Amino acid sequence: MSINLLALIGAMLTIATPLVWAGIGELITERSGVLNLSIEGTMYLGAFIGFLAAARSGSPWVGLLAAVVSGVVAGALMAFFVVTLGLNQHVSGLGLTLLLIAICEFTFRLLYAGDRPTLDDKFTVLFRGTEVLAQHWLTYVGFLVLAPVTWWVLRSTGLGMRLHAVGESFEAADVAGISVTATRYVALMVGSALMAIGGAFLTLAVLGSFTLDIVSGRGWVCIALVIFARWRVWPAVLGALIFAGMDALQLQLAITSAFDAVPGELMLALPYLAVIAALAIGGRTVRYPGSYLKAYRRA
Amino acid sequence: MKFVLRGHEPRWLAPVAVLVAVLVTLALTAVPIRLAGAAPLAAYERYLVTPLTSTHGLHEVLLTATPLLFTGIAVAIAFRAGYWNIGAEGQFLLGAIGTTWVGTTFTDLPAPVALPLGFLAGAAGGLLWAVVPAWLKRRAGIDEVVTTLLLNPVALLVVQGLLNGPWRNSSSGFTDSDRLGSGFDLPALIPDSRVHWGFGVAVVVIVVTGVVLARTATGVRIKAAGQAPRAAEFSGVDVGRLQWRCALVSGAIAGLGGASQVMGVQHQLTAGISDGYGYTGVIVATLGGLSAIGVVLVALLLGDISVGAQNVSLVLQVPAQLGAMFSALLLLAVLSAMSWRRYRLQWRPRPRSGGSR
């Protein structure tokens, strides 16, 4: 059995990229106390809008920009439901996911009626020819800029402190003069923009086209990763790498058919099962953000 | 002008809020219909009215509503008890797996034995998938939203793993399971239609659930546990045990839905056996106000829209995703409208008397 280790690491980094972007997006919104189940739909929206804008303009940069804007809009919408109206977070998040996916599929069918369009120009990899370093710039930025900057912002800046205060105890934050509404709106809009970038990476960098199963549960993986990481940046990145590594290994095994004993589906199911196991073992000691799933209303 | 909390809610307010939400939803769906080059009014008629005007259309509505009846009432039971089961999708899939397993193992069973066994296996599958999150919630207080949600993709992977591996079709080699034994075919409920006995089972389940929820002490306890868990606990209700039981019943009913879909429609396991029925069940239960009659009405409405949307896509070339868009929009619009009920507009703020509030 021969496994090309370098190719494996290269594939792992590519597969982990959308999980890092969207996972950090989810982490930011959850830090403010909002479980954002619209992540699956927001990634789908980013993937579709990114593709559409890139196809129409001929430039993947325009696509990426459009994806970011669509993510901000989706985040604002989610914030309107759960912050302004104070609706149940999981029902509105799930509803928004279903709505966004339906809108994208509707538009896709309308515009392309069954054929499979491809982009003329998509993002190309840097350092072509190497096995590990031949990655898209979004991969480099995700690991080397986004993750450390988010870590630093959450840990050492006033913005991070405000997010933490609102997420842990919104009454106390409000008394201290921090606007719960504004903080959660910003967290949801920024986080959703990152999720949309994660989705757009799939169409603009990896695939260069759009398919109806493009996201296929990656949003749910991110939810698992964030809780697995207990709302910390580096463990979430590590989790994304582990998941992506298993996915890459599974793909390589499927190609080489070295052994059929371990079905690929089992390896793909592992991250979900690992999160549930971690929750079970951690039990009551898993500290959810204090204002998790709650809407703020002044008494 | 500002919003202030209402002390008293007039009776006309809830129906008006729903009506406004429906109108907003219709107005918003007019945009994609126009974009598709069709006239909104003609499209509304096609996707809301046309299915109800022919016998065939009505049959299709009942057939389409059947899985939603199961998942809708399953979610409603859990939500009522304050247990946020987002996992009906996975429980539905495990139900389908359970039924397929008995249906392809004991192929020679006659229908009177096979059908109850099929449903039993489906319920057992759904129950099995609901046990872990419910147990974690009960024993360790672990939030069930995340655990039930994450088991959905796992269930889909189990289905795909089975179909790619041991259950691959033995004659065609496609990634569908073998056909179930003929004893497992649910007979038609209405002669010469595709409406099968799964619909009858769904109705029985819903009637029983409705009676239990509305007319028994258990129903009162469930409602209390969901709406005011501390007060319920204080008056002697074991909220944890009640939620545990409701979670298991919820999973079993979602599993029955999978059994009904396998034995009544597909007669084999396919990767697309659930068209998001578990997720749509959350819409059905929420829009139905977590009541039995509400679940029936909303499931029929969504069935109607879904059949109508197929029709619209054939006749007016408006993609069938219009149906899914409509139901998700309706959910968000109704929830939004209902949240305004608690407030009233105050045009001129009262002069403040000293204090900041």
Whole-number pLDDT of residue B192: 85
Asked if B99 contacts B179 with a C-beta cutoff of 8 angstroms, the reply is: no
Does residue A290 form part of some domain? no
Residue B353 has pLDDT above 80, yes or no: no
Q: CA–CA separation, A263 vs A246, rounded Å?
A: 12
Asked if A208 contacts A118 with a C-beta cutoff of 8 angstroms, the reply is: yes
Residue B319: both structure tokens together: 């993609």
Asked if A98 contacts B279 with a C-beta cutoff of 8 angstroms, the reply is: yes
Does residue A41 form part of some domain? yes
**Which residues 27-56 of chain B have a CB within 8 Å of chain A?**
32, 35-36
Partner-chain residue, chosen from A99, A102, A288, that has the shortest CB–CB distance to B143: A288
Q: CA–CA separation, A64 vs A196, rounded Å?
A: 9
Does residue A294 form part of some domain? no
Domain with residue A234: its CATH number is 1.10.3470.10
Give pLDDT tens digits for B55-81.
Answer: 999 999 999 999 999 999 999 999 999
- H or E stretch at A161: helix A158-168
Measured CA to CA in angstroms, residue A95 lies from A56, B83, B144, B282, B326 at distances of: 29, 18, 18, 9, 11
Residue A297: both structure tokens together: 């209303």
Q: CA–CA separation, B152 vs A216, rounded Å?
A: 12
Asked if B318 contacts B38 with a C-beta cutoff of 8 angstroms, the reply is: yes
Q: Which residue of B has its CA nearest to A94?
A: B279
**Which residues 93-152 of chain B have a CB within 8 Å of chain A?**
132-133, 136, 140-143, 145-147, 149-152
Q: CA–CA separation, B297 vs A51, rounded Å?
A: 39
Asked if A33 contacts A294 with a C-beta cutoff of 8 angstroms, the reply is: yes
Residue A1 has pLDDT above 70, yes or no: no
Across the interface, whether the CB atoms of B136 and A106 are under 8 A apart is answered: no
Beta bridge partners of B5: B343
**Total beta-carbon pairs less than 8 A apart between chain A and chain B:** 134
Whole-number pLDDT of residue B166: 87
Is the minimum CB–CB distance between B329 and chain A shorter than 8 Å? yes
Whole-number pLDDT of residue B165: 84
Q: How confident is the model at residue A176 (pLDDT cuts 50, 70, 90)?
A: confident
Domain range for A226 is 5-120+132-285
Asked if B210 contacts B293 with a C-beta cutoff of 8 angstroms, the reply is: yes
Measured CA to CA in angstroms, residue B168 lies from B91, B142, B159, B162, B180 at distances of: 22, 37, 11, 7, 13
Q: How confident is the model at residue A293 (pLDDT cuts 50, 70, 90)?
A: confident
SS3 B342: coil
Measured CA to CA in angstroms, residue A134 lies from A137, A201, A232, A247, B41 at distances of: 9, 15, 28, 18, 54
**Which residues have CB under 8 Å from A255's CB, separation 6+?**
none
Cα A22 to chain center, whole Å? 2
Across the interface, whether the CB atoms of B149 and A37 are under 8 A apart is answered: yes
Whole-number pLDDT of residue A259: 53
**Which residues 58-87 of chain A have a CB within 8 Å of chain B?**
81, 85-87
**Which residues 228-267 of chain A have a CB within 8 Å of chain B?**
263-266
Across the interface, whether the CB atoms of A268 and B280 are under 8 A apart is answered: no
Whole-number pLDDT of residue A299: 62
Does residue A44 form part of some domain? yes
Does residue A20 form part of some domain? yes
Is the minimum CB–CB distance between A288 and chain B shorter than 8 Å? yes
Whole-number pLDDT of residue A123: 87
Half-sphere exposure of A10 (CA within 13 A, CB side): 19
Across the interface, whether the CB atoms of B283 and A265 are under 8 A apart is answered: no
Whole-number pLDDT of residue A2: 60
Measured CA to CA in angstroms, residue A183 lies from A88, B136, B285, B316, B343 at distances of: 18, 32, 32, 45, 24
Is the minimum CB–CB distance between A269 and chain B shorter than 8 Å? yes
Task: State the complex-level ipTM.
Answer: 0.89
Q: Which residue of A has its CA nearest to B136?
A: A280
Across the interface, whether the CB atoms of B336 and A102 are under 8 A apart is answered: no
Phi and psi for B17 in degrees, rounded to 5?
-60, -45
Burial class from Cβ neighbours inside 10 Å (0-12, 13-18, 19+) for residue B150 reads buried
Residue A77 has pLDDT above 50, yes or no: yes
Q: How confident is the model at residue B26 (pLDDT cuts 50, 70, 90)?
A: very high
Give pLDDT tens digits for A186-208.
Answer: 999 999 999 999 999 999 998 88
Does residue A92 form part of some domain? yes
Whole-number pLDDT of residue B356: 44
**Which residues 300-319 of chain B have a CB within 8 Å of chain A?**
318-319
Q: Which residue of B has its CA nearest to A226?
A: B146
Measured CA to CA in angstroms, residue B195 lies from B125, B254, B294 at distances of: 24, 19, 21
Q: Which residue of B has its CA nearest to A222?
A: B150
Across the interface, whether the CB atoms of A95 and B332 are under 8 A apart is answered: yes
Chain B residues with CB-CB distance to A106 below 8 A: 32, 319, 321-322, 325
Q: CA–CA separation, B126 vs B94, rounded Å?
A: 5
Query: If you compute the radius of gyration of chain B from its CA atoms, what whole number of angstroms results?
Result: 22
Is the minimum CB–CB distance between A88 and chain B shorter than 8 Å? yes
Q: What is the mean pLDDT of chain B?
A: 90
Give pLDDT tens digits for B100-149.
Answer: 999 999 999 999 999 999 999 999 999 999 999 999 999 888 888 889 99
Cβ–Cβ contacts within 10 Å for residue A174, how many?
Answer: 16
Asked if B326 contacts B31 with a C-beta cutoff of 8 angstroms, the reply is: no
Across the interface, whether the CB atoms of B335 and A272 are under 8 A apart is answered: no
Q: Which residue of A has its CA nearest to B154?
A: A269
**Which residues have CB under 8 Å from B195's CB, separation 6+?**
B59, B62, B63, B66, B188, B189
Across the interface, whether the CB atoms of A279 and B136 are under 8 A apart is answered: yes
Partner-chain residue, chosen from A103, A272, A293, that has the shortest CB–CB distance to B150: A272
Does residue A57 form part of some domain? yes
Is the minimum CB–CB distance between A213 and chain B shorter than 8 Å? no
Phi and psi for B307 in degrees, rounded to 5?
-65, -45
Q: How confident is the model at residue B315 (pLDDT cuts 50, 70, 90)?
A: confident
Q: How far is A277 from chain B (nearest CA, A)?
A: 10
Q: CA–CA separation, B266 vs B273, rounded Å?
A: 8
Q: Closest Cα to residue A18, out of A184, A188, A141?
A: A141
Does residue A125 form part of some domain? no
Give pLDDT tens digits for A216-275.
Answer: 889 998 998 898 888 999 999 998 998 888 888 877 777 665 555 567 788 788 878 887
Q: CA–CA separation, A13 vs B341, rounded Å?
A: 49
* Total tally of structural domains belonging to chain A: 1
Across the interface, whether the CB atoms of A284 and B140 are under 8 A apart is answered: yes
Whole-number pLDDT of residue A286: 64
Chain B residues with CB-CB distance to A37 below 8 A: 86, 149
